[in-house]
């Protein structure tokens, strides 16, 4: 089925506990990601047969897999837990895909493990389908992310605030190694394990560093640069992860754990959707600050590897953490320039972008539509954009500055508009459409809305008649009261 080659299990036996998935009564394959299956070297036709439901529910462990629950610690909302770990997930193993990239295949919702604490180890159908949709949307948007390979209904009932159908998600990732994986060993004083883990991550995610004396510092830099680029992409899309705990930040630079995440509609830097984020710690505008804070926690675990002399280690680590804001800013600003249709960098560009966002904020304009309609404006159709604003004089004043700036680049307006439409999506996973798809699946066993939404999300930069309903913002009152939950 898959050609497993399980380096994590082999090289880091202390970082997980061998464990078997729970048996479920009536596994039914709901959705399979054919393209991803092929990428992993598997035949979708085989996976769609009876074998697929058995394997993706956890009922049968495929040949070559070595299921294990990964250990990790983590800061959750700033408070440290020395032991979290896979409480409802299992790594089945790794495959080298058709492009030569090593990928983890893991189950989520596969039953209790030694790390389950009070939890049932299960996942409900709604959150499984939600992660499927958002992960695949992010991938289509060009954002590094874990992927969804399959969703299976288990035939079980899981108890949350009400009884819900159970499900298992099969997740594919460059690796599932998190900042919290390093913290797990560091807090126990197991520096040899931290070293082994760091060597493993270097060979998987930063192979160019292998064998270099300064490779551990290089690793920290590499992770920080990947996170800078990733969070800048989130920010430019109005994406709010919602639970940026250190156990939810990967070393690979992929977005992981789509729990309480959401895309904002009316632009608001303070936007928070998660029901448990009372202080707004993970609000949209805080995300780069939190990424840096999390990287500092990673840096602490690496100190003994950075230099023999503790002060020197701290100095080297601090240099990286202090460089992060500039790396982030570069990524965020270059993303904005592309969204504005600019190909050169000029001194006034940051102010131009900031003033645009300030305008969206004061007038509570849908951020995704505003950027999209700005592309139309470049093509000579400003009316759809102007319709989004109440104070059109303020918009017109800004547009005059923007047009002047575009003129300085001297590019053909049609080309500019085409390129802007390749970076300013029309379709994002809007909260009301996601909820609509999940409700149909959970309450009526109807995956039609899920399929139609997914199909739309897979071509986010198109804008044809079929896509219109996915590009429209939710009614204002729905968004204002929208809350997301962690309960997978
Ligand atoms: P998350 O908020 O999804 O990143 O999960 C945080 C921690 O809670 C991880 O250690 C999970 O494995 C654990 N966890 C979440 N839900 C469950 C559950 N239903 N059963 C067992 N552990 C869980
Ligand atoms: Mg997590």
With beta carbons less than 8 A apart as the criterion, state whether 140 and 252 touch: no
Determine contact, residues 130/258, Cβ cutoff 8 Å.
yes
pLDDT at 488: 56
Assign 475 a pLDDT band (cuts: 50, 70, 90).
confident
208 Cβ contact list (under 8 Å, min separation 6): none
Give the span between the Cα atoms of 372 and 472, in whole angstroms.
12
79 - beta bridge partners? 76
- For residue 58, give the nearest of 126, 145, 150 by alpha carbon: 150
Burial 43-56 (b: 16+ CB within 10 A, else e): eeeebeeeebbbbb
Number of CB atoms found within 10 A of residue 113's CB: 25
Ligand 2 is an ion; residues with CB less than 5 A from it: 248, 257
Distances from the Cα of 159 to the Cα of 122, 124, 127, 166, 407, angstroms: 9, 9, 13, 9, 59
Residues noted as catalytic: 247
- Report the residue count for the chain: 488
Nearest by Cα to 282 from 252, 254, 302, 257: 257
Helix (H) or strand (E) holding 172: strand 163-173
Residue among 87, 118, 127, 169 whose CB has most ligand 1 atoms within 8 A, to mutate: 87
The residues, any chain, with a CB within 8 Å of residue 87's CB and separated by 6 or more, are 69, 112, 113, 115, 116, 117, 119, 121
CA dihedral of residues 379, 381, 382, 388 (deg, nearest 10):
-110
In whole angstroms, give the CA distance from residue 349 to residue 347. 6
pLDDT given at position 424: 98
Burial tier of 24 (Cβ tally within 10 Å: 0-12, 13-18, 19+):
buried
- Per-residue pLDDT band at 478 (split at 50, 70, 90): confident
Ligand having the closest approach to the CA of 178: 2
Going by alpha carbons, the residue nearest to atom 11 of ligand 1 is 87
> Residue 112 C-alpha to ligand 1 middle, in angstroms?
10
Residue 105 φ/ψ, nearest 5 degrees = -120, 125
pLDDT of 268-284, one tens digit each? 999 999 999 999 999 99
C-alpha 233 chain-centroid distance: 10
> Considering the chain, what percentage of its residues have pLDDT values greater than 90?
96
> On the CB side of 261, how many CA atoms lie within 13 Å of its CA?
28
Q: Average pLDDT in the 238-256 region? A: 98
Taking the centre of ligand 1 as the mean of its atom positions, its distance from the CA of residue 86, in whole angstroms, is 7
30 phi and psi, to 5 degrees? -90, -55
At 170, give phi and psi (nearest 5°).
-100, 120
Pocket of ligand 1 (CB under 6 A): 84-88, 115-116, 119-122, 243, 247-248, 257, 259, 486, 488
- pLDDT single digits (tens) 289-334: 999 999 999 999 999 999 999 999 999 999 999 999 999 999 999 9
């Amino acid at each position: 089925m898959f050609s497993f080659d399980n380096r994590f299990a082999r090289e880091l036996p202390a970082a997980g506990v061998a464990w078997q998935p729970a048996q479920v009564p009536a596994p039914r394959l709901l959705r399979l990601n054919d393209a991803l299956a092929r990428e992993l070297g598997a035949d979708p036709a085989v996976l769609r047969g009876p074998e697929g439901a058995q394997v993706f529910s956890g009922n049968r462990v495929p040949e070559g897999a070595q299921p294990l629950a990964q250990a990790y610690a983590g800061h959750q909302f700033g408070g440290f837990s020395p032991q979290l770990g896979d409480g409802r997930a299992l790594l089945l193993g790794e495959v080298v895909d058709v492009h030569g990239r090593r990928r983890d295949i893991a189950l989520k919702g596969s039953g209790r493990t030694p790390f389950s604490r009070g939890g049932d180890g299960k996942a409900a159908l709604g959150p499984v389908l939600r992660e499927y949709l958002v992960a695949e949307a992010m991938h289509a948007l060009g954002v590094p992310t874990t992927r969804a390979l399959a969703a299976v209904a288990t035939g079980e009932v899981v108890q949350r605030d009400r009884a819900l159908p159970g499900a298992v998600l099969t997740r594919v990732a460059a690796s599932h190694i998190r900042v919290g994986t390093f913290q797990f060993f560091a807090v126990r004083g197991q520096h040899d394990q931290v070293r082994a883990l760091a060597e493993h991550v270097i060979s998987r995610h930063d192979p160019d560093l292998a064998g270099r004396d300064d490779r551990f510092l290089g690793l920290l830099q590499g992770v920080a640069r990947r996170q800078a680029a990733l969070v800048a992409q989130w920010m430019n899309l109005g994406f709010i992860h919602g639970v940026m705990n250190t156990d939810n930040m990967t070393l690979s630079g992929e977005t992981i754990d789509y729990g309480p995440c959401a895309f904002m509609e009316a632009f608001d830097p303070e936007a928070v959707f998660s029901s448990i984020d009372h202080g707004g710690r993970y609000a949209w505008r805080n995300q780069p600050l939190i990424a840096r804070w999390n990287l500092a926690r990673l840096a602490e675990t690496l100190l003994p590897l950075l230099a023999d002399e503790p002060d020197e280690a701290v100095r080297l680590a601090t240099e990286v953490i202090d460089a992060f804001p500039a790396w982030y800013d570069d990524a965020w600003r270059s993303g904005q320039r592309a969204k504005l249709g600019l190909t050169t960098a000029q001194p006034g560009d940051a102010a131009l972008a900031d003033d645009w966002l300030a305008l969206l904020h004061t007038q509570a304009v849908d951020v995704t539509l505003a950027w999209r309609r700005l592309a139309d404006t470049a093509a000579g159709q400003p009316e759809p954009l102007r319709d989004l604003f109440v104070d059109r004089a303020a918009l017109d004043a800004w547009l005059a500055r923007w047009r002047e700036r575009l003129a300085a680049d001297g590019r053909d307006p049609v080309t500019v508009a085409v390129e802007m439409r390749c970076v300013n999506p029309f379709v994002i996973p809007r909260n009301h459409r996601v909820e609509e798809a999940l409700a149909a699946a959970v309450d009526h066993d109807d995956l039609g809305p899920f399929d139609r939404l997914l199909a739309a999300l897979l071509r986010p930069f198109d804008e044809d008649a079929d896509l219109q309903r996915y590009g429209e913002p939710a009614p204002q009152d729905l968004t204002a009261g929208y809350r997301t939950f962690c309960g997978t």
